[in-house]
Structure 1
Amino acid sequence: MSDTPTPDGPTDDARGREQRPRRDDRAAGSRERRGGHQGAPRRGDDGGSQDRRRHTDRRTDGRAGGERGGHDRGESRSGGGDRRTFGPRQGPSAGRPDRGGRPQGDHRRRGGDGASGLRAGQGRGADSRPARAPEPDLPDDALAKDLEGAVRRDLLSLDKSNAETVARHLVMTSRLIADDPAAALAHARAARGRAGRIAVVRETAGIAAYHAGEWAEALSELRAARRMAGGPGLLSVMADCERGLGRPERAIELGRSDEARMLTGDDAAELRIVVAGARMDMGQYDQAVVTLQTADLDGDRDGSAAARYYYAYADALVAAGRAEDGLQWFLRAAAADIDGETDAEDRVDELTGP
């Protein structure tokens, strides 16, 4: 490929450049949030406008937050055996991201606050400890046995009754994440309140917060989970949260970290999509193009991961003023998108229309 990489760090000119407006959707590859492909309500920016998002993620299970083509690599282990719990694209993310795929940085939706069906929590026995915060009701069909076995084993350090309740809240988090992220977050917070020292519970709370647009809370929870469990954790989701908080330069730093070098395959590709989005947030379109120029562009792959990657690359090319090249990659994204997660076909029509 002919592009020449530009320096990793933002130039003085780029730093001074006005930030492009952000969106608060999160799903890689949806042209515009047409009601949210998995039912998540569209959220506008603080001024009530619902602007467009261009590529990449922000979502996590259900595959990322109920948006089209979003960031769906946020994998939590809560849920009926599906390790891709809420999903750069999954999720959240995921509505189509702005040019660069990140949500509105000033989004302050409080998932779970005021949610229906809350009941007062019970204190433990007759001791003087304060009662728990209100928790959402658990339906009878939310069963602990529906939770993945590995997660249930993580809960064995809890007393039996508490472990059962935590497991049921995690099941509900997974069940609701795509269609009602605020309610899912309420359940995740309830689980965290009961089992805050268990890594998978903190991870699930972080992913739920990510889908609900609570970027700071999501980042805090995912950092805690990573400290407890070790490893790189959900690095791409964390980087996307930094973008959501209006800190694209920190997303880029995460992309250069030692933990990032530990990632391989789709996990590494998802992080590159987020880093490219951060470059686009900063107006560094040529560098976004270069970020995505890897072996992931080789061959004729299909499926969700390939479609999102091709879409992100096409979007960066168009933003960099290379519309003809971008058109070719939107065509490849459309061909790879066998599940219809992106709006690549719409982008092709946009670029070829009268």
Structure 2
Amino acid sequence: MTTTNKLKYAKLVPIMLCFFAMGFVDLVGIASNYVKADLNLTDSEANIFPSLVFFWFLIFSVPTGILMNKIGRKKTVMLSLVVTFVSLLIPVFGDNYGVMLCSFSLLGIGNALMQTSLNPLLSNIISGDKLASSLTFGQFVKAIASFLAPYIAMWGATQAMPTFGLGWRVLFPVYMVIAVIAVLWLGATPIEEEKPDKASGFVSCLKLLGSPFILLCFLGIMCHVGIDVGTNTTAPKILMERLGMTLDEAGFATSLYFIFRTLGCFSGAIILQKVSARSFFVVSVICMLLAMAGLFVSDAEAVIYTAIALIGFGNSNIFSIIFSQALLAVPEKKNEISGLMIMGLFGGTVFPLFMGFASDAMGQDGAVAVMTVGVIYLLFYTLKIKK
């Protein structure tokens, strides 16, 4: 291994730890189910939490792209980690409705800052046709944090003494410590950034949506994260509704989803170096279509678990492929494009809201129907992917 490669990998490690911290946002799925049980909320009331988290992507993503032009990508990532730290500190002091709303709001703001700045920061180290596989590996690391969250919460809920009375909320201080390590490590790592994009404003960034392909990418990101947050939140509810499981038992469904998302990201990082993005994208979408069909036609436990696993695997590489396609389409405006694509994570607000209303009206089949709309759009998007 050459000295240049050693330096490159040394810089990748703290960036990948930041990707792990990026996964903290996915704790909102299992956390919202515990808050629902603690406060006796309806589905539509509980789904406000994941919707609130991703609402801030609509507000902060494009301004973050502009901020990066002024202070740089690395400093923006560090700012995001500080906000994330504060969001994880708040629930240590209680779990009433107002406290959790405040915590999830800050978690969403921090994650909006992080997702907008971390992906293009990675492009300072990895570029060209290796970018998609590197972004996928970052999503693999992110998914590790995502699937660990339900296990940590379940451990906290069933072990009174070691959690200092926090119960399932022990999840927050555990991840808070990792956020501190991430910000200190990244701050000590020198990263040479590209020359900032030309000064731009909010309106000029939004004008990029006038490009048909960029608009398609934006909508694709919305569908991806809608399916992601939707499955994260709804999978335990499906098992509880159809099989009568308790929340602690059904919480495994969320972990199963993220286990297969993790496996999908890991395999995708390798496969995308050898197979075209379009071919792999098609296979991924077909996996999700089969899963939605399974959730509609069967109440069997094995079928439900298989469907959740297929959604996890199928949805694992959607983001990195769409994001890299958008960055490569307009390489001279990476910061602005990143802001726009991350604004698409607002789909995590739109989908859970509609899923909550649909499930209150017709059970969890209604939530599955909403997610299926997103899968159908991604099938259409496959026709537009550049080989």
Q: Which TM-score bucket, shorter chain as reference? A: under 0.3
Higher relative contact order (CA 8 A, sep 6+): 2
Q: TM-score, normalised by structure 2?
A: 0.25
Higher share of residues assigned helix? 2
With the length of structure 1 as denominator, give the TM-score of the two structures.
Answer: 0.27
